[in-house]
Amino acid sequence: MKFWMAFLGFFLLLLLLLLTNTAARGEYGVVHVVSENWSKDYCILFSSDYVTLPRDLHHAPLLPLHDGTMAPWCPGKDSSRQVRPGAPRRRPLRHTTAMVMRGNCSFYAKGWLAQGQGAHGLLIVSRVSGQQCSDTTPAPQDPHQPLPGLTIPVAVLRYNDMLDILRHTHGSAEVRVALYAPPEPVLDYNMVITFILAVGTVAAGGYWAGLTEADRLQRRREDEGAPVDFTPAMTGAVVTMSCSIMLLLYFFYDCFVYVMIAVFGLGAGTGLYSCLAPLVRHLPLQQYRWPLPGHRACLQLPLLLLGGLCAAVTVLWIAHRNEDSWAWLLQDALGVAYCLLVLRRVRLPTLRNCASFLLALLAFDVFFVFVTPLLTRTGESIMVGVAAGPVDSVSRERLPMVLKVPWLSFSSLTLCDQPFSILGFGDIVVPGFLVAYCHRFDVQVRSRQVYFVACTAAYAVGLLVTFVAMVLMQMGQPALLYLVSSTLLTSLAVAACRQELALFWTGQGRAKTPRVTEQVI
């Protein structure tokens, strides 16, 4: 059992290194569609280099929608619809927003034709979803110069959204649309929820690790439930295999993502069982047990029922993982249990080992966020690309090794690309190892949780700094750069002030207190 837990804890660590947030792709807007008894918002892509959309729906003109998806709408395809410069203009689309198919001609040509017939806006339906804005919006040779003669907004609408609009508005006398681009929220209340989840998980994992250490010292023996010590050799193996997994995800995302989902399901189910088992053992059903042939252990009915419940919850999440309305709650619950399992079962015995592990993963995080954009063809960091999922992904799956909380403020970004803010498990577990180490050291030297409280507070401050940096720089951040710095420096400062730096560095707190008999307060 101990070997299994060591293997599981080691392998789980390889999968916990995803970045906090992702960057937006392109310039997003919203088209608000209204019929007699129905309305809905859809995502659009546009270029602000030549046109500015209203910032809110109240200032956006609500115009009739003209369905031109059955016409070619390209120069030379239908001469009756062409308008030459200087010729008398027929304006059959006066005060409307036209909707046409992508076709083979340029976006500018389509926009100019629509404007020449009096349209006040143009929606171009594209079957390719998730493209860069520069690829799907009209742009001149010099992107900093406005398009000559084109003054109406031209935007791209997804093909599936067009089908949804036609299905809901079939038979309606009149359909009206409004194009606008609501501002992106600088801050959202879901950051508060993410902050509470992350800090609460780190604090609970560190506290539980301290309780386990106190129990181990009292019993003076190692049992099956004892943590597994993490050696320096394992640090090198973790970093090497993490780089390999990141590259496999970047180049073979659609295949490898299902391996990650399966591994997360296994680890999350095990973590949920580990968190609930201590509570279940106090239920009044312990008399229902059956001895195993040839073993001293017994099968206990409460634990069997708990195992079935954890398996059912995990299967439920796997089956409905893409249900955005509620599946994120299950994912977050399983993710928290996942992190608690690792923090409890994996122990870094000395601060020397802990610091080398944290700094190695800090270098890994910074490299894949800040350095890889210089090496990739698109200029996007591998970490951000993997965390968000490739734009050309066929499976449309997302990696589950994150806490995700839906945005509470409406914006075009939440509608088009990022309905959730995410925090990677690595940003919880990696600094969480140091918090757990601090609490174990508190138990050894009987310092009444001084190190634990200081390191937990430092983690909270580091996470706030990460959020501020993300808002100011408007890009994904290597969160470990702030979290490792704040927690490591704070814990070293506390040890120096208490004149316990040598003991803290070597993890020899027991040398100062040969007998530890008190319970952790």
Gap between the Cα atoms of 499 and 2, Å rounded: 36
Choose, from 49, 161, 427, 442, the residue flagged as catalytic. Answer: 427
Gap between the Cα atoms of 335 and 338, Å rounded: 5
Gap between the Cα atoms of 138 and 136, Å rounded: 7
Count how many Cα atoms sit within 13 Å of the Cα of residue 307 in the half-sphere of its side chain: 6
β-bridge partners, 65: 97
Choose, from 365, 392, 417, 442, the residue flagged as catalytic. Answer: 365
Closest CA to 443 of 218, 243, 265: 218
CA distances to 193, 271, 427, 459 from 199, rounded to whole Å, are: 10, 18, 10, 7
370: amino acid identity, one letter: F
| Residue 64 near residue 79, CB atoms below 8 Å | no
Phi, psi of 257 (to 5 degrees): -65, -30
In the chain, DSSP finds a helix count (H) and a strand count (E) of: 17, 13
Q: Is 442 a catalytic residue?
A: no
| Residue 155 near residue 29, CB atoms below 8 Å | yes
- Angle separating helix axes 479-497 and 351-366, nearest 10 degrees: 160
| Residue 189 near residue 499, CB atoms below 8 Å | no
Closest CA to 358 of 421, 438, 250, 471: 438
| Residue 115 near residue 150, CB atoms below 8 Å | yes
Closest CA to 45 of 387, 415, 422: 415
Give the DSSP H/E element, type plus range, for residue 196.
helix 190-219
Q: Is 427 a catalytic residue?
A: yes
* CA 490 remoteness from chain centre: 28
Q: How many CB atoms lie within 10 A of CB 263?
A: 17
| Residue 5 near residue 97, CB atoms below 8 Å | no
Closest CA to 103 of 75, 129, 79, 80: 75
| Residue 25 near residue 133, CB atoms below 8 Å | yes
Gap between the Cα atoms of 106 and 26, Å rounded: 19
List, by residue number, the catalytic residues: 365, 427
